[in-house]
C-alpha cells in the first residue's frame, strides 16, 4: 500500500488530497478519506497537500497510526456496514462518488 490516510482526517476531510491525486484513487467515506492501495501509483502528491498531516507513505507510517494501514485496505476489501459486497477497485473515486460509510475502526473513534 503506497499511502495511507490516518486519524487526523476523521471529521475533517479537507479533500485537498483528492484534488491533487492524478489517478483519482482517494475515496470518500462518511467521516474519512481512504486511499485505494491497488489504484495508487505512489506519487506522493496527496501527502504534500494534506493540511492536517493525515497522509503518510506506508513505509514511514508512525507506530501510532499503523492500524490505519489495514483499515485503508479493509475499506476496499471487506463488506462495510450497510453494503452488500466489498467496494473493490472501481477504477476511480469520481465514478462512484462518496461511499457514505466507514470502517469499524473509524466508527469506533469518537468525534472531536
Q: What is the pLDDT of residues 14-24, one digit of tens each?
A: 999 999 999 99
Please report which confidence band the pLDDT of residue 110 belongs to, taking 50, 70 and 90 as the band edges: confident
How confident is the model at residue 111, as a pLDDT?
A: 67
What are 14's three cell numbers? 479537507
Buried b (16+ CB within 10 A) or exposed e, 19-32: ebbeeebbbbbbbb
pLDDT tens per residue across span 42-56 = 999 999 999 999 999
Handedness of CA 71, 73, 79, 81 (dihedral sign): positive
Task: Tell me how far apart the terminal alpha carbons of the chain are, to the nearest angstrom.
Answer: 28
Architecture of domain 3-93: 2-Layer Sandwich (3.30)
| d(C-alpha 2, C-alpha 100), whole Å | 24
CA dihedral 10, 14, 18, 21 (to 10 degrees): -100
Handedness of CA 82, 68, 73, 3 (dihedral sign): positive
**pTM, rounded to two decimals:** 0.94
Amino acid at each position: 500500500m503506497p499511502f495511507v490516510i490516518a486519524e487526523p482526517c476523521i471529521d475533517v476531510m479537507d479533500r485537498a488530497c483528492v484534488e491533487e491525486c492524478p489517478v483519482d484513487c482517494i475515496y470518500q467515506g462518511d467521516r474519512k478519506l481512504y486511499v485505494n492501495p491497488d489504484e495508487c501509483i505512489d506519487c506522493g502528491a496527496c501527502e504534500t497537500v494534506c493540511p492536517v498531516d493525515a497522509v503518510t507513505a506506508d513505509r514511514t507510517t508512525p507506530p501510532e497510526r499503523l492500524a490505519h494501514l489495514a483499515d485503508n485496505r479493509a475499506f476496499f476489501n471487506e463488506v462495510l456496514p450497510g453494503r452488500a459486497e466489498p467496494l473493490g477497485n472501481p477504477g476511480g473515486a469520481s465514478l462512484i462518488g462518496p461511499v457514505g460509510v466507514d470502517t469499524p475502526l473509524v466508527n469506533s473513534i469518537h468525534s472531536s
